[in-house]
Structure 1
Amino acid sequence: MTNDSLAAKPHYPLLDGLRGVAAIIVVTFHLTEPLGTGHLDILVNHGYLAVDFFFLLSGFVIGYAYDDRWQTMTIGTFFKRRIERLQPMVVLGMLLGALGFYFTDSTIWPLIHTVPLWKLLLVLLIGCTILPVPLSLDIRGWQEMHPLNSVGWSLFFEYLANILYALGIRKFSNTALGILVLLAAVALAQLAITSPAGDVSGGWTLNAEQVRVGITRTMYPFFAGLLLSRIAKPTRLKHALLGCSLLLALVLYMPRLGGAERVWLNGVYEAVAIILIFPLIVYLGASGVVQTQAEGRICKFLGQLSYPLYLVHYPLVYFYVAWISNHKGVTLAQAWPYASVILAGGIALAYASLKWYDEPVRRWLQTKLG
C-alpha cells in the first residue's frame, strides 16, 4: 500500500504506477458500490481485491527494501521508518473523516446526530493510532473498526503484517517462508470458496469472524510478496506498464461470476486472482522498463498519489453515499457526474495532501526520530 525509500538500490518505477492504478480503481469501486443492490450487481464488482493487491505489493517492497539490512538496522529503526511513512496520512485521513462526520446527513446513518462531541473525539483519537475501534464506539452504525474513515481497517492489518515480519518472519528461510505462504494460500482459498457470499470481501469489523477475514486476506498476499522479492529474477520487459495495468483492471473490473446459485465460482475466481494472477502482475511490473520520460513521470505521479488517495477519498465518498441514499432510485446515468466530481476532487485533495502535508511531515519526523 505504500512505497518505502529504496535509497542505494535500483527502483521499480512500474510498481509505483501499478499502485496508483489500483488506488484509482478502488475509488471507482467505492463510487459504484452504493448503486448496487448487493454483492451480485456492483459495476466494479471486484474492486475490493485491490486491497489484496496492495498487500502483495507491500510485502514485495518491504522484502526488497529491508531484507538485507537487518545486520545494520534494529527493530526499533524499522518501526520508526514505517511510522514515518504510514502514520501521517492515517492521521489526516481520520481528521478529514471527523470534519465531515456531522455533515453526512442520511437515513442510513441514524446514529450520527446522536453522537456527542466527546465520543467523536475519542473515536478520532483511537483512529489516529490506527488501533481498531470497539463496536461499543461504532458511531456511524456500519460496524466499522474505523467509522471516521472506513479504509483504515486495511492499514491496521498492514501494520500487523509489518510487526510479524519484523519480530520473526524476516528470519524465515525461503523454504519456511514458502510453507507459510502455501498454508496461507490454502486458508485464503478456503475462505473465498466457502464464504456465504462467495468472496473475500470483509475484514473491517472488530469481531472474531471479520478479524479472521482480515488476517486471512493479509497473510497470503503480504508474505507471498515477501517471498517473491526474494526469489524473483526480474527480466526486462517493454510495454509492461500498459500491459500490467490492463491485466489488473481486467481482474478488478471483472463482473461477478456464478450468480446467486453458484457463489463458489466467484470464490474460485478471487482465489486464483489473488494467489496466482496478482504475483504474476507484480513480477511483470518489477521486470518492466520505463521507455520514455513521460512514462517515468506517469509512474512517479501515480506512485506518489496512491497512498494519499487511498486515505483521503473515503471521507468524500461518505457525502456521495449520503446523497444517493437520500435520492432513492438514482441510476448510474444520474450519478456519474457526481461520481466524477468525487473522483477528481479526491485526486486533487490527495495531491495537495501529499505536497502540503505528507511530505513536509515525513521530513520533520525523519529529523526528529532520526
Structure 2
Amino acid sequence: MDNNRLGTKPHYQILDGLRGVAAIIVVFFHLAEPLASGHLDNIVNHGYLAVDFFFLLSGFVIGYAYDDRWSNLTIGGFLRRRFERLQPLVVLGMTLGAVGFYFTDSTIWPLIHTVPVWKLLVVMLIGYTVLPIPLSMDIRGWQEMHPLNSVGWSLFFEYVANILYALGIRKLSNKALAGLVAAAGALLLHFALTNPNGDVAGGWTLNAEHLRIGITRTLFPFFAGLLLSRVAKPTYIKNAFFWCSALVAVVLLMPRIGGATHLWLNGLYDAFCIIIVFPLIVYIGASGVVHNQAEDRICRFLGNISYPLYMTHYVLVYFYVAWISNHKGITLGQTWPYALLTFSGAIILAYASLKLYDEPVRAWLRKKLK
C-alpha cells in the first residue's frame, strides 16, 4: 500500500505541544530522582505519570489518524508507518547508550567492569528490535529490559498496544471498546490501590510483576485515548494550551500524597489522574486552537523535539547519575548547575537528533518501504 494514497489530516498542534511539555518534565524527573532518598521525596514526584499521559495521547492520535482509513490500509501498511515513526530513534537511543556505556563508570553499576564488548553489542542489537532482554543479559545492574536506554521499555509496550489495535481492537464498536476500557480502568484502579509501593510506577523489567504493571499501565490509557478520539466532540476552549500545560505540570509536579503511612492515597491519586484528568486534558487540548505565531512556534517546537528528547535524554542522565553517585552527600544547591547543564545538553541533543538523523532517516524509510 502506498502511504501517500492515505493522505494526511491536520495535526492537533496543542496536543503536540503538550507532548513536549510532558517530555521536558520527564527529564526533570530523571534529574531529580538520584537526589531523592526514595520514591516518597522526589521533588518531581509524579513525573512517572508522563508515560501514562503519552500512552493516552498516542491512543487518541492513532484513532484520529487511522480509524477511518482501514478501507485503504492493511495491517502491514499500518505497522510499517508506525515502524517508520518510532524505530529510527529507538536505534539511535540504543546506539548512543552503547557508545557511552563504559564511560558512565560508577560504583552503582559494578557490572560495567565485567561486560565484554561482544555482550554489549548483542544487547545493543536486541535493543534495536525493542524486544526486552532477559535478566541474564542485564549489563548495568538495574534489572531493566533495556539497560542501554532506560526508557526503551515504554516503546515496547507502545508497540504492543499498536499491534493489538491493528490486529483487532480497531474493529470493536464504540460500545465494545467502552467495555474494554472500563475493564482496563478497573484493573488499573485495583492495581493502584493495592500496589505495595503506593503508585503505578514500573514496567521496565522482564519479569511477571513488571510485565503486569506495563500491560496495566498501557491498556487503559491507550484504548481510552482511542475511545476518546471516536466519541469526543471538541468544542472551542480559549487558551487551551496554557490551561492544559498548567494541568500537566500540576499533575506531574504534585508532591507525594499520603506519605509512608497511607500509600493507597497516592495510588488513588495516580489512578484519578490517568482515568479522569488525562482524558480531560486531551479533550481540552483537542478543543483549542493556537492564537498567534508565537504559540504556533512553541507548540511546533515542543512537538518536534518531544519524541527525540524522550528517546535520547537518558543517555546523558546516565553520566549525571554516575557523577552524583561518585559525590556522596551532595546537595541540591551543589547539583543544580550540573542538572541544568545536563538538561540543556538533552535539549540540544534532541534537536540535533531530530534534524540530523530522525527526519532524514524517516524520509529515507518512506521511500524504501513503499
Short-chain TM bin? over 0.9
Partner SS, residue 110 of structure 2: coil
Deviations 1:191-242 (A, max 9, x none): 1111001100000000001000000000000000000000000111221111
Matched, 1:110 2:110: yes
1:7, distance to aligned residue in structure 2 (A): 4.9
Map 1:128-147 to 2 at 5 A.
Answer: 128-147=128-147
Aligned partner of 1:17 in structure 2 is: 17
Amino acid at match of 1:275: I
TM-superposition CA deviations, 1:126-164 (whole Å, max 9, x none): 001100011000000000000000000000000000000
Q: Scaled by the length of structure 1, what TM-score is found?
A: 0.98
Compute the displacement of 1:109 (Å). Answer: 0.2
Q: Give 2:289's aligned amino acid.
A: V
Partner-residue secondary structure (3-state), 1:46? coil
Give, in whole Å, the separation in 2 of the partners of 1:258 and 1:323.
Answer: 32
Partner of 2:63: 63
Q: Which residue of 2 aligns with 1:3?
A: none
CA distance in 1, matches of 2:263, 2:332: 25
Kindly report structure 1 stretches of 4+ aligned residues shifted beyond 6 Å. none
Partner of 1:216: 216
**Structure 1 pair 120–8 and aligned structure 2 pair: CA distance change class (3 A):** closer
CA distance in 1 between partners of 2:220 and 2:349 (Å): 32
Give the aligned partner of residue 3 of structure 2.
none
Larger deviation, residues 215-224 vs 329-338 = 329-338
CA shift, 1:11, in A, is: 2.2
Could you tell me the TM-score, scaled by structure 2's length? 0.98
Alignment of 1:323-342 (within 5 A): 323-342=323-342
Moved more, 9-18 or 224-233: 9-18
Give yes or no for contact 1:238–1:291 (8 Å, CA) kept in 2: no
Q: Partners of 1:257 and 1:295 in 2: how far apart?
A: 34
Secondary structure class of the residue paired with 1:47: coil
Aligned to 2:100: 100
* Fraction of identical pairs, as percent: 74
Distance 1:74 1:260 in 2: 50
Which residue identity is paired with 1:119?
K
Stretches of structure 2 lacking an aligned partner (at least 5 in a row): 1-5
SS in 2 for 1:71: helix
Query: 1: distance between equivalents of 2:346 and 2:104?
Result: 17
Q: Give the SS at the match of 1:367.
A: helix
Map of 1:270 onto structure 2 = 270
Question: In 1, Cα distance between the equivalents of 2:179 and 2:335?
Answer: 47
Question: What one-letter code is carried by the residue in structure 1 that aligns with 2:196?
Answer: P
Q: In structure 1, what is the equivalent of residue 294 of structure 2?
A: 294
Structure 2: which amino acid aligns with 1:120?
Answer: L
Offset at residue 38 of structure 1 (A): 0.6
For the residues of structure 1 that align with 2:225 and 2:146, how far apart are their CA atoms?
26
Alignment partner of 1:121 is 2:121: yes
In structure 1, runs of 5+ residues without a counterpart are 1-5
CA contact (8 A) 1:151 1:314 kept: yes
Cα RMSD (Å) of the superposition? 0.8
The aligned length equals 365
The structural deviation recorded for 1:10 is 3.0
Deviations 1:259-285 (A, max 9, x none): 100000000000000000000000000
What residue is the counterpart of 1:255 in the other structure?
255
Q: Does 1:185 align with 2:174?
A: no
Partner Cα separation in structure 1 for residue 21 and residue 335 of structure 2: 22
